[in-house]
Amino acid sequence: MLTLKLVSEETERVIKGLEKKHFPGAKQAIYDVLALDKMRRETQQKLDKELQEGKKKAAQIGALMKEGKKDEANAIKESVAALKEESKLLERELNDIQQKLIDLLRTIPNIPCDEVPEGKDASDNVVVKEGGEKPNLPEDAMCHWDLCKKFNLIDFDLGVKITGAGFPVYIGKMARLQRALEAFFLEEARKSGYLEVQPPYVVNEASGFGTGQLPDKEGQMYHCNLDNLYLIPTAEVPVTNIFRDVILDENDLPIKRCAYSACFRREAGSYGKDVRGLNRLHQFDKVEIVRIDKPEHSYESLKEMLDHVENLLIKLELPYHILRLCGGDMSFTSSICYDFEVWSAAQEKWLEVSSVSNFESYQANRLKCRFRNSQTKKTELCHTLNGSALALPRIVAALIENNQTPEGIRIPKALVPYCGFDILDDKNF
């Protein structure tokens, strides 16, 4: 959530930032915030004046009673009572204005940083780096969904029977490969200084609001109506909320956490060829990295996170490129976002496997996640960052397609110690 300080002190920058994100009615929304804030301050001043006047008059009553001036004392009592009633009305008015102000701020997205390029959609994203070599596959190369059927690795139809589309069943060596990837990603995160946590897979409304999934993305989340809980779309949500309503020691920053979790996304509105096989699922596994940092160091943290994800793809021997997202393609909460995409050779397309974002103070303001400045002793909002490191389905799709042979799927050397085999085939035991 944008801070009132930012909106009031850098109004034009905020408006321009929202326009870069193509937020409709950006200027009017900010002007409405400023108008409500002015009303809030004026009402607070009136209330403070009424309370001060009431306190001053109340102090006179005792002295007048001692002097025997009962009538004067009673008159002041009536005046104080009237002031109390006026104060109650002002308090209700102030609370109403404050709530309207908070509700309005909740609807306004984060503003992008200066490095974010202009653009309306994904076609305007900028490739900032490429790595790896695209494989040369034979003409009869198969897409991953056909390879999975050929070698009995994933049963998509069985998943439909048990649950529905987008919930595949992994079999034999493929199930072991899933575990191997999870272990590999977690171990690489540990080596990079991330402390592993195992979070809940369901969260409450406060957690969803804290990281920005609510109220922006409730339609994409699975809702447990009876308990009013939400299945997590990513471990970012519970892991970042560990630090909700917390004041951290400056010397403990940056805080680095990682977590494996299953992720659940309704993906409402998805259709067509882009949802075939593993390209888009409702349930999938992912390892997430999260950082809590000081504002002046958060972009150094972002660079370290980008390097971490890139090294994972290098070790997996996958061709990749890194995109800096344009303003129109960014999420509600991010200040800057980089997407990693891997080349899926049989499909001849790029598949997104990671998003790494800096939210600056936007999430922290919603979370009330702060640190105490060691010099000023005052509390300041932290910066929060997160990234997929990595999401499994499209990584698996690219691994299967890029490394296919007539005998099976070649496993990258980095994964062999984790899965115990060097070829993925129908010999599942």
Neighbours of 166 (CB within 10 A): 19
* First and final C-alpha spacing in the chain: 51
Distance CA 46, CA 51 (A): 9
Binding residue per annotation — 250? no
The pair phi, psi for residue 322, each rounded to 5°, is -115, 130
Q: From CA 228, how far away is CA 52, in angstroms rounded? A: 44
Q: Can you tell me the distance from the alpha carbon of 331 to that of 213, in angstroms, rounded to the nearest whole number?
A: 10
Q: Which two tokens stand for residue 53?
A: 């006047």
Annotated binding-site residue? 291? no
CA dist 175 to 83, 312, 398, Å?
72, 20, 16
Q: Is residue 288 a known part of a binding site? A: yes
**Integer Cα distance of 251 and 29 in angstroms:** 38
Strand partners, 202: 231
355 is an annotated ligand-binding site residue: yes
CA–CA gap between residue 9 and residue 109 (Å, rounded):
18
Does the annotation flag 266 for ligand binding? yes
Has 74 been labeled as part of a binding site? no
CA–CA distance, 287 with 387 (Å, rounded to integer): 9
Residues contacting 128, CB < 8 A, separation 6+: 322, 323, 324, 338
- Of 201, 134, 133, 144, whose CA–CA distance to 393 is shortest? 144
The one-letter amino acid code at 72 reads E
Q: Is 394 annotated as a binding residue?
A: no
**Token pair belonging to 289:** 């990295």
Q: Name beta bridge partners: 257.
A: 195, 290
257 labeled binding residue: no
Q: How many residues does the chain have?
A: 429
Which residues fall within 8 angstroms of residue 159, CB to CB, at 6 or more apart? 165, 166, 167, 168, 169
CB 168, CB 156: distance < 8 Å: yes
Q: Which amino acid is at 229?
A: L
DSSP string, 23-62: -TTHHHHHHHHHHHHHHHHHHHHHHHHHHHHHHHHHHHHH
Residue positions forming the annotated binding site:
234, 265-267, 288, 352-355, 386
Residue positions forming the annotated binding site for ATP:
265-267, 352-355
Residue positions forming the annotated binding site for L-serine:
234, 265, 288, 386
